[in-house]
Chain A
Amino acid sequence: MNGRPEQFSAEPNELLVERLRDGLGLTGTKVGCDTGQCGTCVVRLDGRSVKSCLILTASAAGSRVTTIEGVTERGGELTGLQEALRQEHGTQCGFCTPGMVMALGELVENTADREAPTEPEIREWLTGNLCRCTGYHSVVRGVQRACSAARAEIPEEISEGAAVTASAASAASASASASGKEV
C-alpha cells in the first residue's frame, strides 16, 4: 500500500474503497456514485488504474496498491502531470481530481515511449472519470501539456510501466516514485 506492507483481515464483501477510506484513513480516494461510473475512486493496482468501488479488498491481496497519497509527499512537489493540470487549472471543486490524476497517470506513462496521445485518445481515456465543473477541457489541455513536457525532458531509458506518476518533471522524480513509493 503506497510502498508499505499492510496486513489486516477484511470481510468477504468489503470493498477496496471502504478499506482505503475507513480502514486506512486514505481519504484522497473519493466515493461519488455507487455504480462504478464516476471514477472518483480510481487507484492503481499493480500499475493499472481500477475503480476501487468495484474491487473487493480481498481480491487486492498481494497486489501493489497506489492511491493519490502515494503519488506525492504531503505538501510536497507535484508530479509532472499534477503540475501540468495545475497550470491549466484542470480542477475546480477538486472532488474528481484524485481519481483523474490516478487514471491519467497511467495514460501518460503508457504512452511515454511513443508519440503523445491524441486529443481523442485522451478524451477516450477519460471516459471513466466524470467531472461536472470543468467540462474536461482544462484537464485535456493539462494532459497534453504533461505529455509534451515529458517528451521534452525525459530521457529515453524510462522503463516500461515503472513509474507511478506522469513522470514529466524529471527522470529523477520518476525513478524515485518507481523505486521508493510504489513497491
Chain B
Amino acid sequence: MTAVTGEVPLQGSGLLGQPLDAREDPQLLRGEAKYVADIDLPGTAHMAILGSPVAHAKILSIETKAAEQMPGVLKVATAADFTDVMPLPCIWIPGGVESHFPPHPYGLPGARPVLTGDAVRHVGDPIAVVVAETPRQAAAALAAIAVEYEPLPVVTRADDALAEGAPQLHEAVPGNLNAYWTCGDKDRTEAALAEAEVTVELDLVNQRTINSPIEPRGAVGDYNAATDEYTLYASTQGPHNHRFLLAALVLGIPFNKLRVIAPTVGGSFGTKGYLYPDMALVLLLSKALRRPVKWVDTRTGLMNSTVQGRDHRQHVVLAGTRDGRMTGLWATSYANLGAYPSTIGPGVATALMGRSISGMYDIPAAFCEVYAAFTNTVSLGAQRGSGRAEAAFLMERLVDRYASEIGMDPAAVRRMNLVPKEKFPYDNGLGWTYDSGDYQLNFDKAMELSGYADMPARKAEARTRGKRLGVGLATYVAICGVGPSTRMSKEGMLGGTWESANIRVHPTGEVTVTVGSASTGQSHHTVFAQVAADELGIDPALVQVYEGDTLKAPYGQGTYGSRSYSMAAPAVALTARKIKAKLVKAGAVFLGVPEEKVVYAGGKVYEEGNEENTKTFAELAMAMWYGWGLPHEIEPAIDETTHFDPPDFNYPFGTHVAVVEVDELTGETEVVAYTAVDDAGNIGNPKIVLGQIEGSITHGLGQALMEAAVYDEQGLLVSSDLTKYALPRAADVPFFTLDKTTTPSPHNPLGAKGAGEIATVPPAAAVVNAVVDALSDLGVQHIDMPLTPEKVWRRLRGEAE
C-alpha cells in the first residue's frame, strides 16, 4: 500500500481544475444508459418480495400452497428454504477493534436473516418471495400467501425503546440497546458546564428522512451451473464491498465465484452501499431455478426496505462566557437504528455524528453520548452528509440559542470561536484531527457574499410586504475520505477502507483506467480520465475509464462519504506517477542517456537540455509493448496498480447563509437567497463539483422544510410514497450564490477533500436558524423540522410546539 504523508507537491499538466464536460452526459441525455431495471437476460424469471404488513408480530404460520398454484409461478420460498444462509452482517460496530485480525462478524446480535421466519419487526420486513414468469404474475401470487401473525406491541422511537417495559425486538439484545457510545472528555465537559457563566440547552428532533434516489433499487442474479459461478447485477455504490459481504459472509461461496456488476446507477446518496436481502435472494433463487432471476423495487417497497437516515432525539447543552466565548459542549442523543443493524448503520449513528459535533469551533471541553436503539422501523443507514449533518444541526442551533441568550450577533459569536488557522492540524477533542483550513477566511467570504451586513434593512423592507425575513447561518466540518483503514478499525469498521486504481497503457498509446470505486452519478469516467491525463500529460480523450465490475476492476470499497475524488482519484494519480517513473527508467535506454538526465513532461520523455532527443507517449507505449532492448530489471508493458490508504481523513468545511421569508398569513417559508462558501481543497472538475454542491444544498433544504418519514403508533410508515413524502421540486428552490475557498488536504497527493455531499451538511441548520430568526420577536427559540406551513403558522399565532 502507498501511504502519503506530509507535503506532496502537485504535479500535472494543468488539466485539473478545468470544467471539462461530463462524457457520461450524452448517453444519459439520449436515454441510452442501462440501469439495472433495463437489464434483460435471456430466460429471466421475476421475483417479488412479500413484506410484512404489520410492524411487530410473531409469525405463527406461513401457507404458500395456493401461491404455488398461481399462473406462471416457478417458486415460492420462505426462511425455511434458506436455513444454511448466514444473516446479513453489520460491519460497523461502534467501539472499535484493537487487533490486526478482525472478529468474524457472523451471527451478530440482531443481524438480519435473508427472510424472517420467527417474527416480523417492521412493516416491509421480508417474509417470503415468489419467482414467476412475469413481474405481474409474481406480484399477484404474493396475495395468495397466507401468514398468521400474533401481534406484539410496537415501538418506533429510540428513547421509547429504551424505556422500562418497552417492547423487545431481539432476544439477544435485552433492552433494545445496540450500543452506548461516547466520545470526548466527560469530566472536563461536566466541569465546564458547571462553571459556565451561561449555559443554554435545546431538545432537538433530527427527524428520520428517506433518501429517495429517483431510481429504486434492483438486482438480477445469474447463476451459471456449468461453471458454478454467480453474477449479480445490482444498483450498488460498492460492487466489491457487496461481493465481500455476500460471498464471504452470507452465501459462504468462494470469493472468486461471485462477480458483482453495477450498471449505471440512478443515484444513491448513501443507501445503495448497504447489503439487502434481495441481493442474496436473486442469487440463491437463480441457482435453485437455473434461470436468471430479476427483482426491481417499487417506490413504496423502497420506502419500506431501503435504509433511512438521520433520526436522533437529542438533549444538547452549550456553555460559554457572557462575552461570547464557548467553553463546553454536551450532546446526549437517542439514535433510532430501526429493526435490524444495517451494514454500517450503527457507526453512522455514533462516530460519524459524535466526533463532529463541535464543527469549526475551538471548544475546550466537549462530550457526546449516543444511545443507539432498535425499534420497529426500517433500518437506519447513511444519507448524504450522514452523521455530519446531524452534528452541524445541533451545534448550529446551539450557537444561535447562545447568541440570543447573551444578546450578541450570531455571526460575531461564530467568528470569535472559529478554530484559528495557526492551530492546524487541530485535535477537536472528540477524536478527529482536522487536517487543514482557514476558517476565518471562509467565514468572512460568506458574510460578505451574502450581504449579511444589509440584513436589518432587508428585514424592515420585507415587513412592509407582509413577510418576515430571517437570516440563518451555519458552518460545518465534514469528515471525508473514509478512510484510513487502521483508523477506521478503531471506529469499529470491519473492513478495509482503502481504494485502488489500475492504469494500462495500450501499444497504440490509449489508456485504460480501472478503479474499484463505482459511480452513482458522480461522472467518474470524466474525472478519473482527467486525473490520469493530467498526470501523464496526455489528451484526456485517449483515456477510457472502467469501473463497477468486480471481474474487471481492481479492488476498492466504493463511492460513499464523498471519497471518490479524495480516495480513488489519488490512487489514479499515484499509479500514473509509477508509470512516469518507469518510463523515465526505460527512457534512459531509449534515449541513450543516464536516467538522471531523463525528463518526463508534457506526455513525453526527453534528454534534459536536449529536447530534440525525445520519445512521445505513444512511441513509448509501443516500445514498451515490444519490450525490445529493455534491460532485465525493467518489465515490458505498462500496467500498474496502486492501493491507496491515506494517513488520515480529510476535513472539508464551509459557511452557509440562508435568507428566508415567512408569510405572516400562511406560515409558508420561502428560501429567497442562499449563499454557500465551501472548501473542498483542490477541486478536479469544478463543473462536476458545482452540480454536487447545488444538489446537496437542495437536499438539505428538503430536510428543513418538507421531508419526514412519519410512522404511526402501529408502526406503519405513513409517508410511504411520493404523494405523502415531499421532495424539493424545482419551484421550491432559488438559484444559489456559491463560492469557495481552497485549503488543500495534506493527506492525499491531489490535495483533495471530499465534495459530493458536504453541502448537505449545513442547510437544515441554516434554514431553521433563519426561520427562528424571523420569528424571534414572538419568543420562538426553536421549531422542529420539517418547517411545514402549518407548524410555522401555529407559532406565528403564539401556539407552543
Contact = CB atoms under 8 A, between A and B. Distances in A.
A180 interface: no
| Most B-side CB within 10 Å, residue of A25, A132, A138 | A132
A131 B695 CA distance: 9
Interface size class of A (residues with CB under 8 A): 35 or more
A133 B721 contact: no
Given A126-B730, A132-B214, A91 B29 contact: yes
A31 B697 CA distance: 25
B694 A137 contact: yes
Contacts, number: 188
Interface string A81-99: 0100111010111111110
A72 B736 CA distance: 32
Nearest to A125: B730
Contacts of B25: 85-86, 89, 91, 94
B26 A78 contact: yes
A82 B521 CA distance: 18
Interface in B505-539: 520-523
Interface string B719-751: 001110001111101011000000000000000
Interface in B160-216: 212-216
B698 A98 contact: no
A28 B32 contact: yes
B754 interface: no
Interface string B288-321: 0000000010111000000000000000000000
A135 B697 contact: yes
A22 to B, nearest CB: 8
A172 to B, nearest CB: 19
A145 interface: no
A123 interface: yes
A126 B731 contact: yes
A136 B698 contact: yes
B691 A33 contact: no
Main secondary structure, interface of A, reads loop
A86 B296 CA distance: 29
B591 interface: no
Residue among B22, B27, B729 with the highest chain A CB neighbour number at 10 A: B729
Interface string A116-133: 000110111011011111
A175 interface: no
B687 interface: yes
A94 B731 contact: no
A138 B521 CA distance: 14
A38 interface: yes
A123 B733 CA distance: 9
B266 interface: yes
Contacts of B611: none
B688 A93 contact: no
Interface stretch (B34-42, B80-88, B149-157): B34-42
B31 A89 contact: no
Contacts of B32: 28, 74-75
Contact of B29 (A82, A129, A134, A137): A82
A34 B298 contact: yes
Given A27-B34, A82-B29, A137-B733, A87 B21 contact: yes
Given A33-B299, A94-B266, A132-B214, A72 B723 contact: no
A164 to B, nearest CB: 13
A92 B522 contact: yes
A25 B21 CA distance: 29
B176 to A, nearest CB: 32
A40 interface: yes
Contacts of B267: 92-93, 95, 132-133
Given A130-B214, A135-B733, A89 B21 contact: yes
B29 A85 contact: yes
Contacts of B34: 27
B504 interface: no
Contacts of B38: 21, 27
Given A34-B298, A95-B215, A137-B691, 5 more contacts: A38-B299, A94-B33, A123-B730, A126-B730, A133-B214
7 contacts: A35-B722, A85-B29, A94-B266, A95-B267, A98-B30, A133-B521, A137-B691
A-B pairs, top 3 by smallest CB distance, nearest first, are A28-B31, A135-B698, A93-B521
